Amino acid sequence: MIDFVKQLNTPWLNVKDVSDHLPMKPASATDDALAAYKAAGIELTAAGVIYFPTKDPADIEQKFAYAKKIGVPLIVGSPTRETLPAVEALVKQYDIRLAIHNHGPEDKEWPSPLDVLKAIEPMDSRIGLCIDVGHTARTGTDVVDAIHKGGARVFDIHMKDLADLSKKESQVAVGDGKMPVRAIFEALNAIGYKGYVDLEYEIQENDPLPGMVKSFAFMRGVLAGMGY
């Protein structure tokens, strides 16, 4: 992972609580991974997607304690509607923001970011959205419109591209599909977005780096064309 991040020429990483990213347990493995990232000059921006399937206070708290230990200000999470109030209490207790990730038509809780937005409207302002642009498009939701509607509640972006905006299995390198990448960046600029855009590259698992490099190059080119 560290080698990949260096080759992508970025110091930022949204880690996941799994063995080859940054394990939650055992504590020694967490410490070792933290030390390795620090030595490599990599800044951890968030942890997730972390799931909250149960209202068990101990289960919820250990995940917030993990986020605090690794020093991230944001959990990209997926609570259920039932567990969301208990998760909100920990957001307040730990003062760690939560960005709820939408997972498309298969997700019965949060298919679209607009579903998340409606549910969190009366909740603490530290609860917001992680908009996965691919999953959003697959629900038929306009990604750019969702960003504008999310506004200050947009905390994180998961970027990917699809050759067919209705098909999950059509993922391609960013720039090779139909995702309106420039319009997405323009919308983020319009809402004053200060967060991260995380490449979520979920194909070619045996050799993902070439497609990741291509995706970063395309996004950087789009931003350069916008004057950044």
- pLDDT tens string 95-137: 999 999 999 999 999 999 999 999 999 999 999 999 999 999 9
Residue 13 has pLDDT above 90, yes or no: yes
Reported confidence tier of residue 1, pLDDT bands at 50, 70, 90 = confident
What is the third-level CATH fold of 46-225?
A: TIM Barrel (3.20.20)
Angle between helices 209-225 and 181-190 (to 10 degrees): 60
Q: Which run of H or E residues covers position 171?
A: strand 171-172
**Region 193-204: what's the mean pLDDT?**
96
Residue ranges per domain, the chain? 46-225
**pLDDT for 38-51, tens place per residue?**
999 999 999 999 99
pTM listed for this prediction: 0.96
